[in-house]
Amino acid sequence: MSLAFQCLEAYKSKEAAIKCWNHNMRTEELKSAIKKLKVSEKLILVEEVWDDIAKSNEELPLPEWQKIELSKRLSTYDQGETATKDFHQAHDTLRTKYK
């Protein structure tokens, strides 16, 4: 089934189907371009995307269940009931575990 037909099926109006098709074509073009990049270029791209997401972090809604879980974890940490490691310890542990 073609992308255009899938969009027409999903969206009953012609305008919505065209938006769907345009969005998906841009996405596919991006995927295709990314596949052509070297690994080092992909890593730089990921970093740029991540930085951009972090800038707009306030726009992302946080579900209530996540707020509750974060509050629990912060409370446990504040009470000194959480074992922590500094970055270097955590990094070494993960590097050893996933060699």
How buried is residue 95: exposed, middle or buried, by Cβ count under 10 Å (0-12/13-18/19+)? exposed
Amino acid found at 70: L
* Per-residue model confidence (pLDDT) at position 68: 94
Residue 80's region, left for phi above 0, alpha for psi from -120 to 50, else beta, is left
Name the residue with higher pLDDT: 14 or 72.
Answer: 72
Contact 6, 25 (CB under 8 A): no
Tens of pLDDT, residue by residue over 8-50, are 555 566 666 667 656 766 778 778 888 888 999 889 888 988 8
Identify the top-confidence range among 37-46, 47-56, 63-72: 63-72
| Mean pLDDT computed over every residue of the chain | 80
- What pLDDT sits at residue 21? 58
Summarize the chain as % helix, strand, coil (round to 5): 75, 0, 25
- Please report which confidence band the pLDDT of residue 6 belongs to, taking 50, 70 and 90 as the band edges: low
What letters, b where the CB count within 10 A reaches 16 and e where it falls short, cover 73-86?
eeeeeeeeeeeeee
